[in-house]
Every structure is written in structure tokens, then in C-alpha cells.
Amino acid sequence: MKRRGVTLLELLITMTIVLVVTGLTALLLSSTSRAALRITMRSEMQQQALTAMQRLLTDLRRSCCSGVAIRSGAAPVAVAICPLKGSGVLNNGELSWSDIFQIYWYDGSAKTLNCREWPPGAPAATLEELDITKPRRLAPGRIAAILNVPAARQFTLVTGLTSFEISYPPGGSDVLMIQPVTFKLTLERKGNTGRNTPEVYTYQRSFFLPEQR
């Protein structure tokens, strides 16, 4: 029995089906890859925000209202913390405060949240600012002056940070810190995600500062 050969029409149909299946497979793989990239980017942003906030809150818990200064009304937005030193208690039972301030601040040009220690470095600390027998607060202008000088010790906590906001309940301010204080981080990442807009992640946390120790 003579076998019938493949006609040109059948060959064209087969090729069309193969091309369609290949195209759909490539489209699916591309879509899956972009979705995975978005998930990875959001996971990275979430991890950075959580780690930074946990560090900030840990230092805040080791201080009190009289040892925390906030600069939220003008750039650079910052939180300067005078924490307890070590165990926080001297042999005589009195509290011992650190002679080093932990300053968390937002660099809007670099889009980073940084943490630096001061002193050491310029401007030189006053005797009042070095008094470890009590918690101390830095004035907003003093914080700005410190941040205007390159840090002796500083590291970056968050990258791609488009906003670092600090807010209070109605009536609150950097002078009258009505609680809770709310910290809000907004991060942004760009990549080949198939979208015209970058991936955005926002993390917000409210915190009650410890009362006077």
C-alpha cells in the first residue's frame, strides 16, 4: 500500500503549532522569571527594613524620653539616641549612660538609612554631652552640625530608601514628643519586572519610648 506524503499545508500547520507553543512557553517563562524577580526584590526590601527597624528599636529600648532626640521637620531626618552603657548599672546601683550617641539618619541624595556613632569626630563633644551620669538629648541644630561632618564610624542599614518619616499623634512634635512615635520607611527597587513602575515596599512601626529611668 502506497503511503501518502506530508502535504505542504500539513507542514505549515505543524510549523505554526510548534511556533505558537514555543512562543507561549517563552512568554510563560519570561512572566515567571519576572514574577520571581519581583518577589526577590520585595523580600530583600522587607528584610532590610525589618533589620534596620529592629536595630533602631533596640537602641530606643535602652534609652528613655530624656535620652532621645528626633529631627523630623527638616533634612536630614534623624534620631539621636543616648543608650545605657553595657549592663546599664554601676556597682553602686546607679545607672550608667553611654558617652557615645547612636545617630540614625536619612541621606536623601544617596537614598540610604545610616547609623553612625558620635563622638568621636567633629564637632567636639562638650562636657555636658559626655556626662554619663544622666541621659542626654541633642538639639536638632546640633544633630545637623554633627551630620554635616564625615563620620568616623558609620554604616548603611537600608539602600534604595525614598522616604524616612517620623510622626506623632496630634499635638506632638520633636520638642513635645507625644507618644507613640511612628517610623515609616519607604523603599524602592527597579529591575526588569515587566512593569513601568518600580517595586515599592513600605514598613511602618509605632513605638512608645520608655519613661524617665
Residue 27 inside a domain? The answer is yes
Alpha-helical (H) ranges within 62-205 are: 140-147
Bridge partners, 205 (sequence order): 183
**Does residue 23 lie in a domain region?**
yes
pTM of the model: 0.81
Range of the domain at 27: 9-207
pLDDT tens digit sequence for 103-145: 999 999 999 999 999 999 899 999 999 999 999 999 999 999 9
What is the count of structural domains for the chain? 1
Residue 140 lies in a domain: yes
Q: Give the chain's mean pLDDT.
A: 87
Residue 105 lies in a domain: yes
Q: Is the pLDDT of residue 1 over 60?
A: no
**Higher per-residue confidence, 91 vs 7:** 7
The DSSP H or E segment spanning 26 is helix 8-61
- Residue that the C-alpha cell 519576572 belongs to: 34
Q: What is the pLDDT of residue 169?
A: 96
pLDDT tens, residue by residue, 18-65: 777 777 766 666 666 677 777 888 899 999 999 999 999 999 999 999
Which cell numbers in the block locate residue 29?
A: 517563562
Measured between alpha carbons, how far is 155 from 22 in angstroms, rounded to an integer?
A: 48
Is residue 207 within 8 Å of 61, Cβ to Cβ? no
Q: Which amino acid is at 57?
A: L
| Whole-number pLDDT of residue 22 | 77
- Measured CA to CA, the distance from residue 118 to residue 126 in angstroms comes to 12
Q: What share of the chain has pLDDT > 90, as a percent?
A: 63
Nearest to 156 by CA among 189, 110, 205, 120: 110
Look at residues 78, 98, 83 and name the one whose alpha carbon lies nearest to residue 142.
Answer: 78
- In this predicted structure, the answer to whether residue 157 has a pLDDT above a threshold of 80 is yes
3 inside domain = no
Is residue 189 a part of any domain in this protein? Answer: yes
- For residue 4, tell me if it sits in a domain: no
Q: In the numeric block, which cell numbers belong to residue 94?
A: 546607679
- Asked if 112 contacts 103 with a C-beta cutoff of 8 angstroms, the reply is no
Mean pLDDT along residues 158-170? 97
